[in-house]
Amino acid sequence: MMNERTELASLGEFGLIDRLAKPFEPALPETLRGIGDDCAVLDYGGESLTLISTDMLVEGVHFDLAYCPLKHLGYKAVAVNVSDIAAMNGTPLHITVSIALSNRFSVEAVEELYAGMQVACKDYKVDLVGGDTTTSRSGLVLSISVLGRVGKDKIAYRSGANVHDVLCVTGDLGGAYLGLQMLEREKQVFLSNPTVQPELSGKDYIIQRQLKPIARTDVVFDLQEAGVVPTSMIDISDGLASEVMHLCKNSKVGMVIFEEKIPVDETALATAQEFNLDITTCTLNGGEDYELLFTVRPQDFEKLRNSPHITPIGYCLPAEQGIFLHTLNGNHISLQAQGWNHF
């Protein structure tokens, strides 16, 4: 029965999830959406829908305590979960936090971690209402679930984009990835010579993008104020390319993105040059910016034109036209999801 052995690495994360999720077809009338969007969508009665999402963060895989202060880690862990609720156009309300930790952590260290979560809970107005605490044989493992609500007429899935819809992104992209490059470089310098002070001056913005990202609940509010419901939405955790592919696949459309429109911060641009990296590649494949990517009907876009947080970067095409980047020099490059395989 267990003769076969397929290596995890041969499937990659998305392949593994697809394979594991397949037998779990939702059976309850309360389940409007199971696996396959930023949140599961549940109808528990009442006027709004219940959203749930969950994330697991593992030391040495998702974070490195050599440069990630525990307080920032706590903040980020909450923010990235809240971001999943925002990505459905919802309002976060509650989180639970489970943690496995070894006795190399002191009580004071764990309190630092929770202090960061507390700041995030205040910022996003969510209550921490439960969790589990256990021991770990090695590193720190953090598992957070977030619950939220969204009006039935406000919910934005990944699947509702139509041809001609305008593709928009919030904030700017690539910063979190370039912040990580800075931190990794300074860690290597430190490891080879512990007396050298880290050289991070002027890089505050991108360091913050990496260590303490912000969930765009403010944009969910702006959309509501403008009376606009996105036709599709996702948050940018794995990089713009990967998220564009998700929207296209789920909405059965194609897309064109204009390289010149992709919003980039000055520090990020300068740092890319410093590292000899192409800034567009950083935005497409970098990940962890936790900005929102969404489509709106052309007539709705007019209502968002003056929002300082929202940039139009492309539009939807018929699926058969494909998914591509219109580069600065006028070329069309087919988009590939970099994917993400840490096995």
Residues 52-71 binding a second copy (CB under 8 A) are: 52-56, 58-62
Measured from the CB of residue 195, what is the shortest distance to a second copy in angstroms?
21
Distance CA 110, CA 244 (A): 37
Per CB under 8 A, 254 contacts a second copy: no
In the complex, what is the shortest distance from the CB of residue 94 to a second copy, in angstroms, rounded to a whole number? 6
CA angle 286, 290, 292 (to 5 degrees): 110
Residues in 34-53 that interact with a second copy by CB under 8 A: 34-35, 39-40, 42, 44-48, 50, 52-53
Out of 23, 194, 308, 330, which residue is the one contacting a second copy (CB under 8 A)? 23
- Closer residue to a second copy (CB): 112 or 270: 112
Which lies closer to a second copy via its Cβ, residue 307 or residue 338? Answer: 338
Site string for a second copy, 168-187 (x = CB under 8 A): --------------------
| Radius of gyration for the chain, computed over Cα atoms and rounded to the nearest angstrom | 20
- Closest to a second copy by CB, 101 vs 253, is 101
Q: Applying CB under 8 A, which part among 25-33, 242-250, 279-287, 294-302 lies near a second copy?
A: 25-33
Residue with smaller CB distance to a second copy, 96 or 338: 96
153 near a second copy, rule: CB under 8 A: no
DSSP 8-class letter at 45: S
Minimum CB–partner distance for residue 214 and a second copy (Å): 20
* Contact residue for a second copy among 72, 76, 149, 209 (CB under 8 A): 149
How far apart are the C-alpha atoms of 288 and 62, rounded to whole Å? 10
Spell out the residues 6+ positions from residue 74 whose beta carbon is closer than 8 angstroms to its own: 112, 113, 114, 115, 116, 117, 118, 119, 120
The smaller minimum CB distance to a second copy, of residues 139 and 254, is found at 139
Residue 85 to residue 89: CA distance in whole angstroms? 7
Of 72, 140, 154, the closest CA to residue 103 belongs to: 140
Residue nearer to a second copy on the CB measure, 100 or 166: 100
- By CB under 8 A, is residue 273 in contact with a second copy? no
CB of 73 to a second copy, least distance (A): 15
121 sits in which H/E element: helix 107-124
Give residues 206-225 in contact with a second copy (rule: CB under 8 A).
none
CB-nearer residue toward a second copy: 18 or 302: 18
Beta bridge partners of 134: 100
Q: Is 226 in the site for a second copy (CB under 8 A)?
A: no
Nearest partner of 91 among 35, 139, 156, judged by Cα: 156
Q: Which long-range contacts (CB under 8 A, 24 or more apart) does 57-64 make?
A: 57/141, 57/142, 57/143, 57/144, 58/139, 58/140, 58/141, 58/142, 59/138, 59/139, 59/140, 59/141, 60/139, 61/342, 64/183, 64/187
In angstroms, what is the minimal distance from the CB of 267 to a second copy? 29
Q: Where in 88-147 is the site for a second copy (CB under 8 A)?
A: 93-94, 96, 98-101, 103, 105-112, 114-115, 118, 121, 125-139, 141, 143, 145, 147
- 197 sits near a second copy (criterion: CB under 8 A): no
> 257-261: which pairs have CB atoms within 8 A and are 24 or more residues apart?
257/167, 257/313, 257/314, 257/324, 257/325, 257/326, 257/335, 258/313, 258/314, 258/325, 258/326, 259/325, 259/326, 259/327, 259/328, 260/328, 261/311, 261/312, 261/313, 261/314
205 binds a second copy per the rule CB under 8 A: no
